[in-house]
Amino acid sequence: MTSPTFDVVIIGAGIVGSACAAECINEGLKTAIVEAKIIGGGATAAGMGHLVVMDDSEAQFALTSYSCKLWSELKEDLPPSIEYEPCGTIWVAADDEEMAEVRRKEKYYTERGVPVQLLDAKALHEAEPNLRSGLAGGLHVPNDCVIYPPCAAKFFVDRAVLNGAKLILGKKVKNIQKDGVRIDDDTFLSSGLVVNATGSWSPLLTSGIDVKKRKGHLLITDRYPDFVKHQLVELGYLKSAHSVTDDSVAFNIQPRKTGQMLIGSSRQYGVESSQIDTPILRRMLNRAIEYMPDLVNLSSIRTWTGFRAATPDKLPLIGPDVLNSKLYLATGHEGLGITTSLGTAKLLVDQIVGRSPSIPVGPYLPARVSELSHA
């Protein structure tokens, strides 16, 4: 029997697939990465690029904080195109109930060694004068950052290619087989392992996995330097993000290095069309204006949509598929794929080479939802 051409073929050059490619090459694996369209062109280009520690669950905290640490270790290597900006996050509390959540969050992060700072109403106003008055306060997480994700994906792919990875661009994978993948010009890439990193499209290649599209809208403004200084997210965001049935919006604004601002966010299930949904966009912007009234005087230059790859338990799928042990999944990152791409790449390669990972992988293994996915 001849040995396969590759050790690993990764499908999808979004930020997750790209980071996985760089990590596989780093490990000395013969790696190919196949991208049907362009590098970092899907959810990677549509999202905000917020590197954020989140605490919806212990497993989410573990993966996001591990990943943020990896980003921090990498920051000296990142080219200027990635626009790495350590602006921090402020979770904004509108009322006393949300302020109680701020205190819970403060305790949770502090106990786990993530620096945070509690802001009362006055401190919040001083930190972000364009927020409306009357807000209760907030939680400042100074180590959170912002990047421009498509360039980060490109950086990882370039790094992988420079070290010997094969990039196959503009070819769609027809199907995944036991010993490799068939691409649309009928070429067969033989490989020991295959990684499906195609985000919200991943069920098209691996039927039965429970990854659903969750549509989002974003808007970018013209340049207004210093209008916003931190990534601001309303704590009500958690209510929005947790709802798995209804359409929802939440105030989320991000300063870019250019002085532009990204304004979000919206969440919709069961929508396939990428068109702008005007009523949702209006709700989203009205929500933003409730928090920052002076936004009405600013100009936007573009709006767009994207699709998050959502799983039922809000955690990604990282590890072997339950039906095909030579197929690994690296998908289902929902709104956190930019942050968790680096942790995902490490955990994937740890599993591939049989090394003990830095954080427990159990919560992310596809097998955890096998009773759902392959029922």
Q: Which is nearer to another protein, 95 or 222 (CB)?
A: 222
Nearest to 270 by CA among 204, 334, 214, 201: 214
Tokens representing residue 5 in the block: 């051409």
Q: Return the number of the residue (224 or 269) whose C-beta is nearest another protein.
A: 224
Provide the β-strand partners of residue 307: 215
Binding to another protein by residue 298, rule CB under 8 A?
yes
The phi-psi region of residue 91 (left if phi > 0; otherwise alpha if psi is between -120 and 50; otherwise beta) is beta
What are the residues whose beta carbons fall under 8 Å from the beta carbon of 79, sequence distance 6 or more? Answer: 151, 155
Q: Does 258 bind another protein (CB under 8 A)?
A: yes
Closest to 153 (Cα-Cα) out of 60, 257, 33, 27: 33
| 58 interacts with another protein by CB under 8 A | no
- Per-residue contact string for residues 216-245; x = within reach of another protein by CB under 8 A: ------xxx---------------------
Cβ proximity to another protein: between 219 and 345 the closer is 219
Q: Minimal distance in Å, beta carbon 299 to another protein?
A: 5
Three-class DSSP labels, 289-301: HHHCHHHHHCCEE
Alpha-carbon Rg for the chain, nearest whole angstrom, is 20
**Looking at 133, 273, 297, 356, which residue binds another protein (CB under 8 A)?**
297
With residue 74 as reference, give the H or E element that holds it.
helix 58-74
- The amino acid sitting at 252 is N
Closest Cα to residue 320, out of 329, 312, 311? 329
Most distant pair of Cα atoms in the chain: their distance: 72
Binding mask 76-115 for another protein (x = CB under 8 A): ----------------------------------------
Residue (281 or 298) nearer to another protein, CB: 298
Q: How many residues bind another protein (CB under 8 A)?
A: 7
Cβ distance to another protein smaller for residue 148 or 237: 148
Q: What is the DSSP string of 188-241?
A: EEEEEEEEE--GGGHHHHSTT---EEEEEEEEEE---TTS--SEEEETHHHHHH
- Residue 292 Cβ vs another protein, minimum distance, rounded to whole Å: 15
Output the smallest distance, CB 298 to another protein, in A.
8
> What kind and span of H or E run contains 328?
strand 327-331
Smallest distance, another protein to C-beta of residue 82, A: 17
Token representation of residue 114: 């993530």
Nearer residue to another protein within complex by CB, 221 or 268: 221
Least Å from the CB of residue 86 to another protein = 22
Least Cβ distance, residue 151 to another protein (angstroms): 16
Judged by CB under 8 A, which of 299, 354, 356, 371 binds another protein? 299
CA distances from 7 to 31, 46, 190 (A): 6, 31, 9
Q: Of 168 and 262, which CB lies nearer to another protein in the complex structure?
A: 262
Taking the least distance from each CB to another protein, the nearer of 298 and 367 is 298
Minimum CB distance to another protein smaller for 226 or for 246: 226
Tell which positions 184-223 bind another protein, by CB under 8 A. Answer: 222-223
> What is the length of the chain?
375
As beta bridge partners, residue 118 has: 139
User: Is residue 257 a contact point for another protein (CB under 8 A)?
Assistant: no
Tell me, residue by residue from 345 to 374, as one string, x for binding to another protein by CB under 8 A and - for no binding: ------------------------------
Binding residues for another protein, per CB under 8 A?
222-224, 258, 297-299
